[in-house]
Amino acid sequence: MKPTITPEAYKKKLDVLDLKDIALTYASFKLKKEQLSESLSVDIDETHSFRQKEDRLFVQYKYDFHAFGHNTKEPAIVLKAHYTVEYSVGGGVIIKKDFMEIFTDVTVSIILWPYFREFVNNAIQRMGLPSLVLGLKKRN
């Protein structure tokens, strides 16, 4: 469904936000060597939610990474990374879903992608596997 917020209303809300913190709040990784093969196919799921508490906006963003070996149903590698991004909200503005649908896709996901790329590369190397560098983030 297409968001209903106008560009002018979006800009007004964007102007009152100030990034305060980015935190990795949960991380896990699992390797099943028996599922590995020469090439892997990668699937990354992204989910998010938000809540506003007075003059603070908290965005919870979750990445679930699965790498599958050739002709395997179970993933060889599973990585999970959950982040919380905190913004201050000025002017008593109330943040609503129509704004957040766009803001999370356009801004938050782009801000977090380098953190997740580094997490994946680091975790894969710690598993004793060759480096894996994810590509640049394209809009969802």
Give per-residue pLDDT as tens, 64-116. Answer: 999 999 888 999 999 999 999 999 999 999 999 999 999 999 899 999 999 99
In the chain, % of residues over pLDDT 90? 84
Task: Provide the mean pLDDT of the chain.
Answer: 93
Query: Buried b vs exposed e over 98-116: b needs ≥16 C-beta within 10 Å?
Result: bbbbebbeebbbeebbebb
Query: What pLDDT, on the 0 to 100 scale, is given for residue 2?
Result: 62
CA 74 to CA 91: how far, in whole Å? Answer: 49
Domains along the chain with CATH numbers: 21-126 (3.10.420.10)
